Structure 1
Amino acid sequence: MTGQLPQTVRCDARDNRARILDAARTVFGDEGLSAPMREVARHADVGPATLYRHFPTKQALIAETFAEQRRACLAAVHDALADTDPWRGFQRLIERICELHAHSRGFADAFMTAFPEAMDFAADQERTLRAVAELARRAQETGRLRPGFVVDDLILMLMAHRGLHDTPRAARVTASRRFAAYVIEAFRAAPEMGAPTPLPPAPRLPFAHALHTR
């Protein structure tokens, strides 16, 4: 019996850690990084001591919570750079980053925030921005990305995109896709010949509903 006790403790610890991470994804995803740690503990149905035993700092919890999204973001950058058409790769990167940010307010906040203690996030940010700069250089050489584009424009885009988290969850992804399409057109060096690229469907937003019912 005594030999089973350590294994039971380890299983309980793994279960608690998994519940904490699931709770953090929900809480930070809905409320952003300003959500308190005690809310994560309450949502996970664990005590604060258990939470801090697994994650001594909020930054450590954030880094682990969004590890999967970080990997997806880096993969999107890698795929964009590997594309033989730099402009196409640039477009797909904009769409993918917007999609990742639309699904989680917490990841959007974390990507835009520098935590000195969260070195993984800081390194990811630097790698992403360096890769975007290189991809932009290649796309500009094709003449299809406007010459004045700078990496700061990506930050500006993401700052604007964060506003979509005030929209209902059901409409957020649809709104994000349309937002990305408009941004890509703004980054394009010149309109292409022929018919313009169709936009994704427009979301029906609550504050615009009155315009359709008058």
Structure 2
Amino acid sequence: MTDRLPHTLRADARDNRDRILDAARALFATRGLDVPMREVARQAGVGPATLYRRFPTKRDLATEAFADQMRACQDIAEDGLADPDPWHGFRRVIERICALHAHDRGFTEAFMSAYPDAMDFAADRERTLRAVAALARRAKDAGRLRPDFALDDLILVLMANRGIQASSTAARAAASRRFAALVIQAFQASPDHAPLPPVARPA
């Protein structure tokens, strides 16, 4: 019995950690980062002491909860940069990043420097933004991206995308797709007025 106890405790600790992260992701996605830590604990079915032992601050919790999304953001930017057609790559970055952020309000807040002192998160964010900046330079050199585009414009896009209100996740995603298409046309050096996705009624 005593030989098996440490293994059981480790399994329980892992289970608690997983439940805390699952609860945090669900709450942050729908309500943003203002959710109280005690509510995360209640949703996870653990006591506040257990939550704070694993994640002493909300910054620690958010950084871990959004690790997968941050890696996805990096992959999106790097995939765009690897595209031999820089304008196609840039368009896909806008579409995919808007789609990713449309599903998670909390991640958008965290990505936009909510926790600048979370060094790993900040470094990952800067790496993503550097890749987008390099892709934007290539698209400008190709004459496809308007020359006055600035990286801050991407942050404005994410801020506006975060503001989409919808009655369901599907409606929010549909509205985000149309918004991304409008943004891409606005960024294009010579807009071709390609057909937009269907109109989505956000609420």
* TM-score strictly above 0.5: yes
Matched-pair contact (CA < 8 Å) for 2:70–2:125:
no
Provide Cα deviations, 1:82-117, integer angstroms capped at 9, x if missing partner.
000000000000011101100111111111124244
The Cα of 1:11 is off from its aligned counterpart by: 0.7
Letter in structure 1 aligned against 2:197:
P
Tell me, in whole angstroms, the C-alpha distance in 2 between the residues paired with 1:156 and 1:204: 22
Give 2:166's aligned residue.
167
The residue aligned with 1:209 is: none
Q: Which amino acid aligns with 2:26?
A: T
Alpha carbons of 1:78 and 1:205: their partners in 2 closer, same or farther (altered >3 Å)? closer
2:194 to 187, 191, 197: 197
Give the number of equivalent residue pairs: 202
SS at match of 1:113: helix
Deviation at 1:191, TM superposition (A): 2.4
Taking the aligned partners of 2:151 and 2:39, their CA distance within structure 1 comes to 36
Q: 2 CA distance for matches of 1:153 and 1:205?
A: 23
1:121 counterpart = 2:118:
no
Q: Which residue of 2 aligns with 1:212?
A: none
Q: 2:139 maps to which residue?
A: 139
Render the CA deviation track for 1:37-59: whole Å, top value 9, x for unaligned: 01100000100000011111111
Q: How big is the shift at 1:203?
A: 1.3
The gaps in structure 1 that reach 5 residues or longer are: 207-214
Q: Per-residue displacement from partner, 1:53-96 (whole Å, max 9, x unpaired)?
A: 11111111101101110000000011000000000000000011
Change (3 A) 1:61 1:151: same
2:52 is equivalent to residue 52 of structure 1: yes
Whether the 8 Å contact between 2:99 and 2:177 is mirrored in structure 1 is: yes
Structure 1 SS opposite 2:163? helix
SS in 1 for 2:15: helix
Superposition RMSD in Å: 1.1
Question: Could you tell me which residue of structure 2 aligns to residue 111 of structure 1?
Answer: 111
Shift of residue 156, structure 1, vs aligned partner: 1.2
Contact 1:114 1:121 (8 Å CA) reproduced: no
SS in 1 for 2:18: helix
Amino acid at match of 2:131: A
Aligned partners of 2:155 and 2:108: how far apart in 1? 11
**What is the rounded CA distance, in whole Å, between the counterparts of 1:90 and 1:152 in structure 2?**
15
Name which one, 1 or 2, has greater alpha-carbon Rg: 1
Which amino acid in the other structure matches residue 79 of structure 2?
A: D
The aligned residue for residue 95 of structure 1 is: 95
Structure 2 alignment gaps of length 5 or more = none
For residues 67 and 58 of structure 2, what CA distance do their matches in structure 1 show?
14
Distance in 2 (CA, whole Å) between partners of 1:186 and 1:41 is: 43
Per the normalisation by structure 1, the TM-score is 0.91
- Amino-acid identity (%): 66
Contact kept? 2:172, 2:202, Cα under 8 Å: no
4+ residue segments displaced more than 6 Å: none
Residue 83 of structure 1 corresponds to which residue in structure 2?
A: 83
Q: Is the 8 A contact 2:20 2:40 kept in 1?
A: yes
* Aligned counterparts of 1:203 and 1:146: Cα–Cα separation in 2: 27
Rounded to whole Å, the distance in 1 between the matches of 2:87 and 2:44 is 44
